[in-house]
Amino acid sequence: MITLLAGFTGSGESLLNRSPWAENLPERVDRLIRTGRMAEAIIVMPDAFTRYGGSQYLNSSATGRYEDHLVREVVPWIDRRYRTIPEPRARAIAGKSSGGYGALVQAMRHPDVWGLVACHSGDMYFPYCYLPDFPKCLDVLAGHGGSVERFLRAWRRMPGRSESSLFPAINTIAMASCYSPNPRTRVGFDLPFDLRTGELRPAVWRRWLAWDPVQMVERYRRNLRRLRFVYLDCGTRDEYHLHYGARMVAARLRRLGVRCIFEEFPDGHANIQYRYDRSFELLSRAFARR
Amino acid sequence: MITLLAGFTGSGESLLNRSPWAENLPERVDRLIRTGRMAEAIIVMPDAFTRYGGSQYLNSSATGRYEDHLVREVVPWIDRRYRTIPEPRARAIAGKSSGGYGALVQAMRHPDVWGLVACHSGDMYFPYCYLPDFPKCLDVLAGHGGSVERFLRAWRRMPGRSESSLFPAINTIAMASCYSPNPRTRVGFDLPFDLRTGELRPAVWRRWLAWDPVQMVERYRRNLRRLRFVYLDCGTRDEYHLHYGARMVAARLRRLGVRCIFEEFPDGHANIQYRYDRSFELLSRAFARR
Amino acid sequence: MITLLAGFTGSGESLLNRSPWAENLPERVDRLIRTGRMAEAIIVMPDAFTRYGGSQYLNSSATGRYEDHLVREVVPWIDRRYRTIPEPRARAIAGKSSGGYGALVQAMRHPDVWGLVACHSGDMYFPYCYLPDFPKCLDVLAGHGGSVERFLRAWRRMPGRSESSLFPAINTIAMASCYSPNPRTRVGFDLPFDLRTGELRPAVWRRWLAWDPVQMVERYRRNLRRLRFVYLDCGTRDEYHLHYGARMVAARLRRLGVRCIFEEFPDGHANIQYRYDRSFELLSRAFARR
Amino acid sequence: MITLLAGFTGSGESLLNRSPWAENLPERVDRLIRTGRMAEAIIVMPDAFTRYGGSQYLNSSATGRYEDHLVREVVPWIDRRYRTIPEPRARAIAGKSSGGYGALVQAMRHPDVWGLVACHSGDMYFPYCYLPDFPKCLDVLAGHGGSVERFLRAWRRMPGRSESSLFPAINTIAMASCYSPNPRTRVGFDLPFDLRTGELRPAVWRRWLAWDPVQMVERYRRNLRRLRFVYLDCGTRDEYHLHYGARMVAARLRRLGVRCIFEEFPDGHANIQYRYDRSFELLSRAFARR
């Protein structure tokens, strides 16, 4: 069983989308099986989409308990319905981008559920992948009176909500709903900066950093050592600069004695579904190992 | 029956894709029917994707006879299988972008098949929507020794074929396969410019312009006058500058005595699926009219 | 004597500007002379700036008689004031971008004045270098009620008039003031397209094309053959795609029996002042030849 | 006497450059004086350009003692040569961008020299204005084997050194030469991140932050209170997001009891020379006050 986590703004179902000249996920897996590169497997594609575009597969008072959903609902339900081997050694979790982040974090926190993990271009080193968006988010919010609520109301009325200039705002808000939820606020989460001056709020920013894999790895080293298989990769031209985070995580894993395959590839963040060819083949071999 | 033509790089199936915070086509139609904005209808979503990304719904010796496919295969097959009213007055053809182009051209050429047409942001006025890409296409080809074949070979090997810097080349090649096929060449089509100096080849460029709706409208005025309903729109910030073509076509239609609803809306070329709310409602009313 | 024509928005004086890590023109010439790559020369840097940014060194009822100014005022004045050899064989005209255009056109039209010419990345093949800006210009004008006058009024009030999004409008307007002046209009020139539908106005566009070096070369072949030295170059990544025009002009010059040195270099349109090292050295040698 | 500090990559002399449709600095001052908006003044335009593009007007073992140059060389020399009032109350320091940074920092550190300061769009809040460039700088350096020296060698050989994709690297290197010089390294300065993993080096980053006006203001509050006139402004669309830093500095100044005029204006970072009209007028009035 391989649980495949979609990236930000995606969901399990979106992995079935057609795009020109490209396989969708079922076609890819069919080809890999047909050509003998991987054995047959149960592929689970959960839905953890939220009103802001994604949950990072964490529990949040702002959007829902997606970590629990995965571990307490999806996995047992699959085990009941399908012919699985209900043990960590037969359960892999994988994903790309926010899905890669989710996979790595799930594996760190639930080695009793997942025994194998493949993280492609996952969110890591938040000072490089998120912080540069903060002033851009502030600029977008300023266009709505500096109010998150007013911005969100306007955004929900937009016919195409995917305008690229708004992305830094949506992404920052979504991440705040995951990393710094706060039920005592009206929107349900704290932003990591002051809405007027833009200054970082150290206490909130520290809450975010506590969810940065670069910091988590040390804390979860014992769990990580229990994993059967850890795979990490990133493109060396990643537009969110995730290759730096990936190198930091890989270096720490090595230092902490966690076996890990770390690969870099000469590409960016988008259109890298072909990396599943690599991870699924390695996962398949790792499943087979005794 | 509404036949809905997908845009360039799309296919019928891709209209079922999920994107975040947006309805896909069946959901949209369901909502329109549920809320009484349109009557029930048979929606046909044909596939006219080609190796270069799209056929413009024309016959081409380079890629296939897609116009014939629509008119001689799809429509009769649907009429046999489904409870249709097999008459032009009950058949609409609609689409967006290259699908809008296709819809308008089909309606011009086959008023015996289609009685209603809705063209959203369709390709028109080729000097503005295609010609600016020619030197960019030449630059891309120059990186492959100025050879279309070598470029296409390299492109087919790329994992993500959708890199934006290549788009002007792919689009120009695809349009050449539709507008200036030539079975006596090795690639199967003529490009409208000299591959070394870049100079326009007037004879080939004229073949393209003969397929420009701005020029076709005059030629097909008799057919156009037979149509029951003609709808045309375009965003006033269309990135391909199709609003200028749309204005020219609308002005000519009026001059030629063709009844036509022409609307402009304050948006660009992408994320404008919401325009179907408008055209489907109008088509539905036009079907109902006696 | 080398007359050096500044590019669009530049003037003779701006060739003295300082930029970081780069020589300005006098420093460049000093170095070339000091290192023996060129002989001493009188460098003339005329001013042909207009209210719209440049004259293309042509006579225009809209902005002034800049061609006459060069040939009838500047050259005789320099000949009176400085120790020149007042003959074509000792007079070169050179420039970059619009200055390159100006140099080539002056040499074609006044072989009795200029005997040598160096044209770097000059404006040529207007269908590629100007036409793609027309719809962008229309979009900018649409933001001002589709009125050139209202746009120009607003533009003149802007503190920084050099916003890049306005450039296609300013450039198109400036070129219209050079290529299609019309004293019977209020603004003083015709635009090559209809301001409402955007459609090309063939009669005006033909006036422009009559000033395209690609078309002029044939007409001025006799004059061109009289020139002592013709140098043409362009970067193969020119952002205005002038390399295609340069190839067409070079091919025609050869076909017409005009001796010409044509060079391509792997660079874009900006920051190519270093090309003067090449042309000044060649001009200097050509002056010396008997 | 107003000492005007040029921005990054500029020098005193570059303030005399011509650009189209715009006054250069002497023309601007002449107009302000002629129209009675400011009194006559001695305008000093020092040169603090370095091999990396700018000194931030600080002392650095890597590039030179520019702070000393200003305070110990330029000011006394001007006082000897020109009819100045050699007292802080008659000396203003002003600038834009890095020149604004320099002005504010000079005033904080030398209230015995400068009595008035005007800072336009100055560098402040380094986490927003510099940190986002670090991963981009790393990417550029990676193209040169991750070596600053190899990159700089290649860069020095480039004909146009001002390619925009290189700017994050040049800017980061230049700032490191100002904020974290280190004579024991081969290049002469420390970068604030690890060249392999990209991880921030906290000790070096802290050295930078010690030069961030947002942090300096508290430390230099006594000096700041001695100033006769403090002016601060920034555009609300500043591309380097300096408006957030400006707000933080203004808020702290107020809290610390430093009188300060703080203005925001609806513009970006470029083409804002017109802001000197405002500051020069205010400085002129402040000079006149008893």
The DSSP code sequence of A158-216 is -SSTT-GGGHHHHHHHHHHHHHSB-TTSSSSB--SB-TTT--B-HHHHHHHHTT-HHHH
Q: Where are the alpha helices (DSSP H) in chain B?
A: 25-34, 66-68, 75-81, 98-109, 126-129, 134-142, 148-157, 167-179, 202-209, 213-219, 221-226, 242-255, 275-288
| D128-166 pLDDT, tens digit each | 999 999 999 999 999 999 999 999 999 999 887 878 899
Question: What percentage of residues in chain D have a pLDDT greater than 70?
Answer: 100
Q: Encode B28-61: b = buried (16+ Cβ within 10 Å), e = exposed.
A: bbeebeeeeebeebebbbbebbbebbbbbbbebe
Q: How far is CA D114 from CA D88, D101, D118, D121, D230, in A?
A: 5, 14, 11, 19, 11
Query: What pLDDT does residue A182 have?
Result: 98
Query: What pLDDT does residue B162 have?
Result: 76
Q: Which of C128, C135, C200 has its CB closest to that of B135?
A: C128
- All residues of chain A having their beta carbon less than 8 Å from the beta carbon of residue D247 are 196-198
Chain B contact for A9, CB < 8 A? yes
Query: What pLDDT does residue B179 have?
Result: 98
Q: How far is CA D107 from CA A34, D6, D47, in A?
A: 73, 16, 18
Query: What pLDDT does residue D164 have?
Result: 87
Largest CA distance in chain B: 60
Residue B229 is encoded by which pair of tokens? 């309903």
Residue type, C199: E
Rounded CA separation B276/B99 (Å): 12
Residue type, B137: C
What DSSP state is assigned to residue C125? -
Q: Where are the alpha helices (DSSP H) in D192-274?
A: 202-209, 213-219, 221-226, 242-255
First to last CA, chain D: 16
**Between β-strands D64-65 and D59-60, what pairing exists: parallel, antiparallel or unpaired?**
antiparallel
Query: What pLDDT does residue A61 have?
Result: 98
3-class secondary structure, C194: coil
Q: Do B160 and A14 touch (CB under 8 A)?
A: no
Q: Do B125 and C237 touch (CB under 8 A)?
A: no
Q: Is the pLDDT of residue B159 over 90?
A: no
**Chain C / chain D CB contacts < 8 angstroms:** 69
Q: Which of A16, A21, A162 has its CB closest to that of B161?
A: A21
Q: How far is CA A227 from CA A88, A97, A117, A282, C277, in A?
A: 9, 21, 8, 14, 64
Nearest 5°: the CA angle D207, D210, D211 is 100
Q: Which residues pair with D234 in a beta bridge?
A: D264
> Taking a C-beta distance cutoff of 8 angstroms, is the pair A47, A11 a contact?
yes
- All residues of chain C having their beta carbon less than 8 Å from the beta carbon of residue B251 are 197
**A-contacting chains (≥3 CB pairs under 8 Å):** B, D
- All residues of chain D having their beta carbon less than 8 Å from the beta carbon of residue A268 are none
Q: If you search the block for the tokens 């994320």, which residue do you land on? A: B271
3-class secondary structure, D95: strand
Residue D53 is encoded by which pair of tokens? 């593009």
Q: Do B159 and A274 touch (CB under 8 A)?
A: yes
Q: How would residue D227 be classed by pLDDT, with cut points 50, 70 and 90?
A: very high
- Best mutation site among D16, D21, D158, D166 for testing chain C: the one with the most C CBs within 10 Å? D21
Distance from CA of A55 to the nearest CA of D (A): 25
State chain B's mean pLDDT as an integer. 97
Q: Do D267 and C159 touch (CB under 8 A)?
A: yes
The pTM of this model reads 0.95
Q: How would residue C162 be classed by pLDDT, with cut points 50, 70 and 90?
A: confident
Q: How far is CA A55 from CA A102, A175, B33, D229, D285, in A?
A: 9, 8, 33, 50, 57
Distant-in-sequence contacts of A274-279, Cβ < 8 A, 24+ apart: A274/B159, A274/B160, A275/A96, A275/A120, A275/A121, A275/A233, A276/A25, A276/A28, A276/A94, A276/A96, A276/A120, A277/A28, A277/A32, A277/A37, A278/A233, A279/A94, A279/A118, A279/A120, A279/A231, A279/A233
pLDDT average, residue stretch B258-265: 98
| B190-213 pLDDT, tens digit each | 999 999 999 999 999 999 999 999
Rounded CA separation B146/D189 (Å): 46
Question: Which residues of chain A are under the pLDDT cut of 50?
Answer: none
**Nearest residue of chain D to residue A240 (CA atoms):** D135
Q: Which of C21, C160, C274 has its CB closest to that of D271?
A: C160
Residue C223 is encoded by which pair of tokens? 């004059």
Chain C contact for D197, CB < 8 A? no
Phi, psi (degrees; rounded to nearest 5) at A118: -130, 120
> Taking a C-beta distance cutoff of 8 angstroms, is the pair D148, D191 a contact?
yes
Q: How far is CA C96 from CA C5, C106, C128, D159, D237, in A?
A: 7, 14, 18, 16, 34
What angle in degrees, to the nearest 10, is found between the helix axes of D133-142 and D148-157? 80
Residue A13 is encoded by which pair of tokens? 């179902």
- What is the strand order of the sheet B261-265 is part of? B43-44, B2-5, B92-96, B116-120, B229-235, B261-265
Helix (H) or strand (E) holding A92, with range, is strand A92-96
State chain D's mean pLDDT as an integer. 97
| C10-62 pLDDT, tens digit each | 999 999 999 998 899 999 999 999 999 999 999 999 999 999 999 999 999 99
Q: How far is CA B189 from CA A33, B153, B157, B204, in A?
A: 38, 16, 21, 10
Rounded CA separation B136/A260 (Å): 44
Nearest 5°: the CA angle B45, B50, B51 is 150
> Taking a C-beta distance cutoff of 8 angstroms, is the pair B58, B74 a contact?
no
Q: Which residues pair with B92 in a beta bridge?
A: B2, B116
Query: What pLDDT does residue B252 have?
Result: 98
Q: Encode C46-58: b = buried (16+ Cβ within 10 Å), e = exposed.
A: bebbbebbbbbbb
HSE (side-chain half, CA atoms, 13 Å) at A230: 24
Q: Enumerate residues 6+ apart whose C-beta is below 8 A from A11.
A: A47, A48, A49, B18, B20
Query: What pLDDT does residue D85 have?
Result: 96
> Taking a C-beta distance cutoff of 8 angstroms, is the pair C118, C278 a contact?
no
| D232-274 pLDDT, tens digit each | 999 999 999 999 999 999 999 999 999 999 999 999 999 999 9
Q: Which residues pair with D200 in a beta bridge?
A: D193
Is the alpha carbon torsion for A221, A226, A227, A230 positive or negative? Answer: positive
User: What number of other Cβ atoms are within 10 A of residue A119's Cβ?
Assistant: 32
Q: Encode C153-192: b = buried (16+ Cβ within 10 Å), e = exposed.
A: eebeeeeebbeeebbbbbbbbbbbbbbbbbeeeebbbbbb
CA dihedral A29, A34, A39, A45 (to 10 degrees): 20
Query: What pLDDT does residue C74 have?
Result: 98
pLDDT average, residue stretch D58-64: 98
| D182-215 pLDDT, tens digit each | 999 999 999 999 999 999 999 999 999 999 999 9
| A82-127 pLDDT, tens digit each | 999 999 999 999 999 999 999 999 999 999 999 999 999 999 999 9
3-class secondary structure, D93: strand
Distance from CA of C190 to the nearest CA of D (A): 23
| C105-116 pLDDT, tens digit each | 999 999 999 999
Nearest residue to D126 via CA among D180, D67, D49, D188: D180
- All residues of chain C having their beta carbon less than 8 Å from the beta carbon of residue D157 are none
Q: Enumerate residues 6+ apart whose C-beta is below 8 A from D285.
A: none
3-class secondary structure, A75: helix
| D22-44 pLDDT, tens digit each | 899 999 999 999 999 999 999 99
3-class secondary structure, B100: helix
